[in-house]
Amino acid sequence: MRGSFFWGMVVGAGGALVASIPWETTRPAAKRALRAGLAGYAAVRGAAARFAEDVEDLVAEVAHEMKQTPAPEAASATAATQGAASQEKDAVDGSQSKS
């Protein structure tokens, strides 16, 4: 039992020593990758915020325009109604002037 405990300690200590060497060499690369990832995240977040603001501005502009001018369907229906009324008035005026 004593022998296996000793070899377990040796393997564990050796593993810890060997594992620390790659970590020391890969840590700067891991930091650079993390830094680049965070910078990319910030850039994407800023672009998304600008896009959302542009969409909100566009929606507000269209809503304002819709309040200022009637819808095309309503405008054409109004024009058709006014045109029919004008023709009826002209017909009435023409028949009265002939009398």
- Domains of the chain, by residue range, sit at 30-65
Distance, in Å, from the CA atom of 27 to the CA atom of 5, rounded to the nearest integer, reads 32
Q: What is the pLDDT of residues 52-84, one digit of tens each?
A: 999 999 999 999 999 998 766 655 656 666 665
For the segment 4-47, what is each residue's pLDDT rounded down to a tens digit? 777 787 788 877 777 766 767 778 888 888 899 999 999 999 99
Interatomic CA distance for residues 18 and 7, integer angstroms: 16
- Model pTM? 0.44
